[in-house]
Amino acid sequence: MYKILIVEDDSTISTIIQSQLEKWGYTVIKPDNFNDILSLYTSFEPHLILMDINLPYYDGFYWCGRIRQLSNVPILFISSRDTDADKIRAITQGADDYIEKPFSIDLLIAKIQAALRRAYSYRDQGLNVLQYRDLLLNVENLQVFYGEMQMELTPNESKILALLIRNQGKTVSRARIMKALWEDESFVDDNTLTVNVTRLRKKLEEIDLKDYIKTIKGEGYRLI
């Protein structure tokens, strides 16, 4: 399973994150000494790092830069600092994402899984999060995340969106979508599919994703 290093000096926050990640089966460690994060990184060899900015001795920007000299391991910043300057600096230093405190633990896990999928999809197709642009879909929990907003989907809505994400840039025929739902023992006729797509669109609009699914007349649907 994947190993995650949490570089966060607030013990309450780091313990909560560690507990939740371990429930998902991740191996998690936290530093006892913030003076030498680089040595901990090289000995533990994590697959992903959660990095706070405000740390003892050296800040998260410093450690991100040092680690980037050695590796392209995914680094996600978690910080209460919310200025554009901080976010730009994090990305410039090599961060893969920036999550503001306070955050939803579900959103954090979704972003972690998306980062792991991008980095290691060649070795593990079992990750439960799909991504299209800034949208995250947790297939197992039937949740969509966009920025700090989230939405619950029905199983059929989730399957439709997952199929469109997996074929991003391509038109997916109505027949193919119905077949995917049929094979999962959920019979869907043509009219029912239209209803499900309409409901999915309305839910996406509620999180500011209007016109996200385009109808290709006589063919099917695709993401825009």
Domain 131-223 annotated CATH 3.30.465.10: no
pLDDT at 110: 93
CA 136 to chain centre: 5
Q: How is domain 3-127 classified at the CATH fold level?
A: Rossmann fold (3.40.50)
Q: How large is the average pLDDT for residues 29-40?
A: 92
Q: Which amino acid is at 117?
A: R
Question: 191: which 2 tokens?
Answer: 């009219």
CA distance 124 to 120: 6
Place of tokens 């697959």: 47
Query: What's the CA angle centered on 99, arms 160 and 86, to 5 degrees?
Result: 135
pLDDT at 183: 66
pLDDT at 122: 53
Question: 174: which 2 tokens?
Answer: 């109505």
Edge-to-edge strands, sheet with 48-51: 27-29, 3-7, 48-51, 75-79, 97-100
Is 146 in contact with 135 (CB distance < 8 Å)? yes
**What pTM was computed for the model?**
0.67
The residues spanned by each domain of the chain are 3-127, 131-223
CA distance 44 to 42: 6
Q: How large is the average pLDDT for residues 8-37?
A: 94
Read off the pLDDT of residues 152-180 as tens digits, 9 standing for 90 and up. Answer: 999 999 999 999 998 988 999 999 998 88
Is pLDDT above 90 for 141? no
172-173/220-223 β-pairing: antiparallel
pLDDT at 96: 93
pLDDT at 184: 57
Percentage of residues of the chain with pLDDT beyond 90: 69
CA distance 27 to 193: 41
| Residues comprising the chain, all counted | 224
Is 57 in contact with 37 (CB distance < 8 Å)? no
Rounded to the nearest integer, the mean pLDDT of the chain is: 90
Read off the pLDDT of residues 81-134 as tens digits, 9 standing for 90 and up. Answer: 989 999 999 999 899 999 999 999 999 999 999 999 888 865 555 567 788 888
Is 162 in contact with 140 (CB distance < 8 Å)? no
